[in-house]
Amino acid sequence: MKEQADWDAAIEMLKKKVSYLEVSVKLKSEELIWALGEREYRKAHPPVQINNISLPTGSPLYFYCHACGHLAEEKPEDYTTAVKTHCALCQELEGIENGIYHRG
């Protein structure tokens, strides 16, 4: 009973956060609410991050999301392309919040 009340309260809080977004995409509000809740959960439960400097030569490098702290990308040591600054979830949410996301 209390768990259901906690979930209902969390959903109401997330609905308020969603209300400021002017989303003009085909993303269902339930999915958006879930995504916002997932990001909040990720922020509250960050993983133990690997320090790339402490890895032996030849090891892959790990890059973490600037928004939630979870793994954004793993690259080989000799990478030459740009590094992602956000994980897929946060990148999607950031695009929606900035009004530039188009779901196909």
DSSP secondary structure of 14-54? HHHHHHT----SS--HHHHHHHHHHHHHHHHSPPPPP-GGG
Q: Which residue has the higher pLDDT, 61 or 93?
A: 61
pLDDT above 80 for 5:
no
Mean pLDDT of 28-57: 86
Report pLDDT digits (tens) over 8-25. 776 676 665 655 454 444
Chain mean pLDDT for the chain = 78
SS3 at position 2:
helix
Burial of 2 (0-12, 13-18, 19+ CB in 10 A): exposed
Mean pLDDT of 62-90: 92
